[in-house]
Amino acid sequence: MDPITLQLYRHRFSGVAEEMGVTLRRTAYSPNIKERLDFSCAVFDGSGNMVAQAAHIPAHLGAMPASVKTILDRFPVWAEGDVVIVNDPFEGGNHLPDITMIVPVFVPGDEAGTDAAAAPLPTQVIRQQAATAPQEPFASPPGAKRPSFFVASRAHHADVGGMTPGSLPLSTEIYQEGIIIPPVKLYQAGACNDDLLRLILRNVRTPDERRGDIAAQRAAAAVGARRLRELVAAHGRDEVLAYTHHLQTYTERITRSVIARWPDGVFAFEDVIELIEGDRLTLAPIHVTATIAGDEVTFDFSGSSAVVHGSLNAVIAITQSACYYVVRCLMDDEVPMNAGCFAPVHVVAPANSLVNAGPPAAVAAGNVETSQRITDVVLGALAQALPGQIPAASQGTMNNLTMGGLRPDGSPFAYYETIGGGMGAAPSGAGLSGTQVHMTNTLNTPIEALEIAYPFRVLRYALRRGSGGAGRHRGGDGIVREYELLVPTTVTMLSERRAVPPWGLRGGQAGRPGRNLILHADGIEEELPSKFTRRLQPGDRLRVETPGGGGWGGEEAAG
């Protein structure tokens, strides 16, 4: 391995993933993908180990590899032109609106029985539970042709059916959340399965938009495949495949060296999720014990709530993603993002729990809200070991807003948005205000684009001054965003930190909790809980006030 060549390949592979993302953005139909950038793209080797992921959505860090591994187990035989899609959270997905597309990439030399792409990492990189045996490298049947690479994209589609527009309903089982797509070949050897595509589009509210976004994901895969073939043509198959392996082992070595500098010990933390059942608020605990031992860290979620009656349940891939994300944040920005980052990080979660749900649990909000709380508890545990590096709690929610109905011309619309808030203050300074934090990495939808696409207006979009927690370093402020409806509209809100505020650290004060308000056309103001579905009328206004981040350090810290 040549260190200069290694860095060249690091940027070559990440460049492939980044260009896939640019293609997906430019060819997508929905504002959620082309404006908010709610997608991720990645490159995998022939065994399903991540080689590079573009800097897109942290919630996809552990989930996309799980999808690829599941699909490799399901489809041992591949052909040029195959395209597999999946959104089933219990077969490698995370929640139904996120549709993953995986495409094999064959290069010259990928002949029957070739195993050059199948070399496993020195340390198995995916460990779902302590009781689960590590997955073996993908093996083709005798005589089958196998690809050297896979390219994958995961995009949040603004509607995939279900109880309410936007497919993030107040559900109690997964069947209410939309169409469930197990791993299936949408294209086989380049031929589209038109019946399957019609079935999918018949089960969504906005079929033209979904057709366009699926086509955009396929275009992104085509660009990724072309760039990988060009790389092999320029440098040779053996060298390119060798450096996929070198990059992963290099990253694992760096990750282990970072963890080895942390103090050994056992550190526990607990926080809560807000459950709404009718008019009753219940707090469900998420508990983690972080054990640092040498150059490895284990996050054990024993003691967390059992599966809940609602959509806040998270599948294990989401819990893994949150843990990987926190560890990655504590590493240098220059470390490549690939499977090697996962090797020294172990996640243990009780089966059928809030953080490791099984079917038929509802999971729509687990991906977007519970993932944020898992991040909070992991940070809270590591703050005891690394007090000079960990910030206070950020807003702790994505403030998921979906709206849908019919435009004046009778055509359907479905809108999805996450709304930023306050970032927690850190030992190094104040938290940022009005930003997306942690497990979401999206932009906002520009008001101009939103009002062109949907029948409502944004009347106010401003910082929520004073909502950040006080301290030596103040937490970031949240956001106020107010919408006016122009047509009858079904509105669903999935949010958190409305009852329990984001915590401060080292004597810093908590940030202010968020608020959800409806200002009815008749002048009545109504405050609603963290999760609700309502049918609103023209002239009604929805105001979302997002939480501020926690402060860091008290007066004693300042002295």
In tens, the pLDDT along 70-93 reads: 899 899 889 999 999 999 999 988
Residue of 132, 135, 127 lying closest to 347 (CA atoms): 127
User: Which stretch of DSSP H or E encloses residue 53?
Assistant: strand 50-53
Segments of 244-317 assigned E as strands: 265-277, 280-293, 296-300
Six-digit token string for 427: 């030992």
| CA 138 distance to own-chain centroid | 25
What confidence category does residue 199 fall into, taking pLDDT thresholds of 50, 70 and 90? very high
The structure's pTM equals 0.92
What pLDDT, in 10s, does the model give residues 518-552?
999 999 999 999 999 999 999 999 999 999 999 99
Instruction: State the DSSP string of 397-456.
Output: ---EEEEEEE-TTS-EEEEEE---BPPPPBTTBPPPSSB--TT----PPPHHHHHHHSSE
- Side-chain half-sphere CA neighbours of 511 within 13 A: 42
**φ and ψ at residue 216, rounded to 5 degrees:** -65, -40
Provide the pLDDT for residue 57: 74
Q: Report whether 456 contacts 438 (CB < 8 A).
A: no
Q: Is residue 116 over pLDDT 80?
A: no
Segments of 440-547 assigned E as strands: 456-464, 478-485, 489-494, 515-519, 525-528, 531-536, 541-545
Share of the chain above pLDDT 90, in %: 84
Provide the pLDDT for residue 98: 95
Residue 118 per-residue DSSP state: G
Provide the pLDDT for residue 408: 95
**φ and ψ at residue 239, rounded to 5 degrees:** -65, -45
User: Which stretch of DSSP H or E encloses residue 263?
Assistant: none
Taking residues 461-467, what's their average pLDDT?
97
Taking residues 451-457, what's their average pLDDT?
95
Integer Cα distance of 88 and 97 in angstroms: 10
Q: Is residue 559 over pLDDT 80?
A: no
Integer Cα distance of 104 and 211 in angstroms: 21
Instruction: State the DSSP string of 143-205.
Output: T----SEEEEEEEE-S---SSSTTS----SSGGGSS----SEEEEETTEE-HHHHHHHHHTSS
Six-digit token string for 50: 């991540």
What pLDDT, in 10s, does the model give residues 405-421?
999 999 999 999 999 99
Integer Cα distance of 51 and 243 in angstroms: 9
Q: Is residue 558 over pLDDT 50?
A: no
Integer Cα distance of 347 and 25 in angstroms: 33
Residue of 440, 493, 433 lying closest to 467 (CA atoms): 433
Strand 280-293, strand 515-519: pairing: unpaired
Written as one letter, the residue type at 6 is L
What is the rounded average pLDDT for all residues in the chain? Answer: 91
Q: Report whether 158 contacts 209 (CB < 8 A).
A: yes
Provide the pLDDT for residue 138: 43
Taking residues 375-382, what's their average pLDDT?
98
Provide the pLDDT for residue 139: 47
What pLDDT, in 10s, does the model give residues 218-276?
999 999 999 999 999 999 999 999 999 999 999 999 999 999 999 999 999 999 999 99
Q: Report whether 48 contacts 68 (CB < 8 A).
A: yes
Share of the chain above pLDDT 70, in %: 92
Written as one letter, the residue type at 281 is L
Which of helix, strand or coil describes residue 92?
Answer: coil
Residues 6+ apart with CB under 8 A from 231: 12, 16, 240
Residue of 221, 336, 354 lying closest to 287 (CA atoms): 354
Residue of 349, 346, 250, 249 lying closest to 293 (CA atoms): 346
User: Which stretch of DSSP H or E encloses residue 108?
Assistant: none
**φ and ψ at residue 444, rounded to 5 degrees:** -90, 165
Provide the pLDDT for residue 392: 98
102: alpha, beta or left? (left if phi > 0; alpha if psi -120 to 50): beta
Integer Cα distance of 165 and 412 in angstroms: 10
User: Which stretch of DSSP H or E encloses residue 207?
Assistant: helix 207-235
What pLDDT, in 10s, does the model give residues 166-191?
999 999 999 999 999 999 999 999 99
Q: Is residue 118 over pLDDT 60?
A: no
What confidence category does residue 144 fall into, taking pLDDT thresholds of 50, 70 and 90? low
What pLDDT, in 10s, does the model give residues 501-521?
999 999 999 999 999 999 999
Between 555 and 43, residue with greater pLDDT:
43
Provide the pLDDT for residue 137: 41
Strand 280-293, strand 296-300: pairing: antiparallel
Count helices and strands in the chain by DSSP H and E runs = 11, 20
What pLDDT, in 10s, does the model give residues 324-348?
999 999 998 788 989 999 999 999 9
Distances (CA, A) of 290 to 126, 287, 396, 441: 18, 10, 20, 25
For residue 239, the tally of other CB atoms under 10 A from its CB is 13
Six-digit token string for 307: 């599966």
